[in-house]
Structure 1
Amino acid sequence: MCAAAVALLVVGCTAQPTTSGTSPGAPASRTTAFNATDTAWILLMIPMAERARQLTDLAPSRAADPAVATLAAKTGSTLREDLRRLRAALKLSGVPDTHPHEGHNMPGMVSLGTLDKAAVTKGRPFDQILTDALRAHFTQSRVLCAGEQNEGSAVEATGLAAAIARSAAQHISALETLRSM
């Protein structure tokens, strides 16, 4: 089953295709027609990025390795920008942010349990929690972004998916470099 289909199964029927800025019956412009894959992807990526960002925000007071703290700061900055762009795309789609994944734990999403554990952990054990969770987050993000690029229709969403996938690959590389140190 392709990643887009998996994402749609997770979201269900909450995200309906919309066309922003056109009248009913008018042909949809490629730049404004969001299909169910586009909106499902956006609605999934927002909570994934929010949870990963919450984890990176813990690093300054918990990380043992300065390189881990630096990586967390850079990652947090990237995630904030991703969130800004995802929310802008969601607004453009016309689909309300109903938080369909509130409280969910899905592959690649930093779990609430992981956040709780990280919040009470310091030093090398925290570093391990952070790097493991970020690796899983970015690996799954790349899978979801590939599904969006293959099945999405709005260029705003597919272009954003391509950018996030490139960024995720860079973050995975940085995590691997950190692991080899």
Structure 2
Amino acid sequence: MQLRRYVLTRRPVRVLLLAALLLTGCTAQPVGGAPRAAAFNATDIAWIQLMIPMDERARLLTELAPARAGDPALARLAQRAADRQEAELALLRGLLVRSAAPDNRPHEGHDMPGMVSSDTVRRAGALSGEEFDRVFAAALRAHLTQALLLCAGERASGGAEEARELAGELEKAGSEQLALLDAARTGKS
């Protein structure tokens, strides 16, 4: 998959805070003291365990778009985003298995920046046309923006080369999705 590079404004303080969060407060502990693969550090594990529920929640929103979007360009974008989320989830789940970290869902039920909330999914499910498009676009933008920050944190502080490489790929794909979202919302798609 070839993706064009989209330059983002970096927010060094937010990235450093994210890296600190990933290294301290949201780390996974191996079950039963079983050692995890040495190449994966706490940042890798936290990144994987956060990206999975973020994509799962975003997937709930993108599934609504075909029946509810008013703008056909936005519906097409939602389908591409859904396909990308499915591919990302498969790769992230594979990394989780290779990391030997538990699949204990530490972020289940959390509503964090960029994570599509259950309320947003419910609200979007009751809307259609332009109203749905506004809610969908705002939630997808927040999801993609936060995912880019998380991926930057993983690339900067992750220990496993395969996790850092995947973060780079997800960062490129997310940048492309943001550019497509901007184009769809301005009628340039």
TM-score w.r.t. the length of structure 2 is 0.85
Aligned 8 A contact 1:63 1:123 in 2: yes
**Paired residues, what number?**
169
**Structure 1: any 5+ residue segments left out of the alignment?**
21-27
Tell me how far 1:6 sits from its aligned partner. Answer: 2.6
Aligned to 2:184: 178
Compared CA separation, residues 145 and 68, structure 1 to 2 (3 A): same
Mapped contact 1:63–1:124 kept (Cα < 8 A) = yes
Structure 2 vs 1, CA of residues 41 and 127 (structure 1 numbering), >3 Å: closer, same or farther? Answer: same
Give the letter for the 1:7 counterpart. L
Q: Note if 1:100 corresponds to 2:102.
A: no
* Equivalent in 164, 170, 184 of residue 164 of structure 1: 170
Q: Does 1:149 align with 2:155?
A: yes
Partners of 2:22 and 2:42 within 8 A in 1: no
Q: Deviations over 1:122-167 (max 9, x none)?
A: 1111111111111111111110000000000101110110000000
Give structure 1 regions of 4+ aligned residues with deviation exceeding 2 angstroms. 6-10, 13-20
CA distance, structure 1, for counterparts of residue 71 and residue 46 of structure 2: 37
Could you tell me which residue of structure 2 aligns to residue 6 of structure 1? 21
Alpha-carbon distance in structure 2 between the residues aligned to 1:170 and 1:76 = 14
Partner of 2:85: 79
Where does structure 2 lack aligned partners over 5 or more consecutive residues?
1-12
Give the direction of change, closer, same or farther, for the CA distance of 1:98–1:19 in structure 2 (3 Å limit): closer
Provide, for residues 77-119 of structure 1, a one-character-per-residue CA deviation record: whole Å limited to 9, x for no partner: 0000000000000000001110111110000100111011011
Q: 1:9 to 1:64 in 2, by over 3 A?
A: farther
How many angstroms apart in 2 are the aligned matches of 1:168 and 1:55? 16
State percent identity of aligned pairs: 46
Aligned to 1:90: 96
CA contact (8 A) 1:4 1:37 kept: yes
3-state DSSP class of the match of 2:137?
helix
Aligned-pair distance for 1:14? 2.6
Per the alignment, do residues 15 and 130 of structure 1 end up closer, same or farther by CA in structure 2, a change over 3 Å counting?
A: farther
CA RMSD of aligned residues (A): 1.6
Cα distance between partner residues in 2 of 1:125 and 1:18 = 49
AA aligned to 2:71 is D
Q: Is the 8 A contact 2:28 2:101 kept in 1?
A: no
Cross-structure match for 2:132: 126
TM-score w.r.t. length of structure 1: 0.88
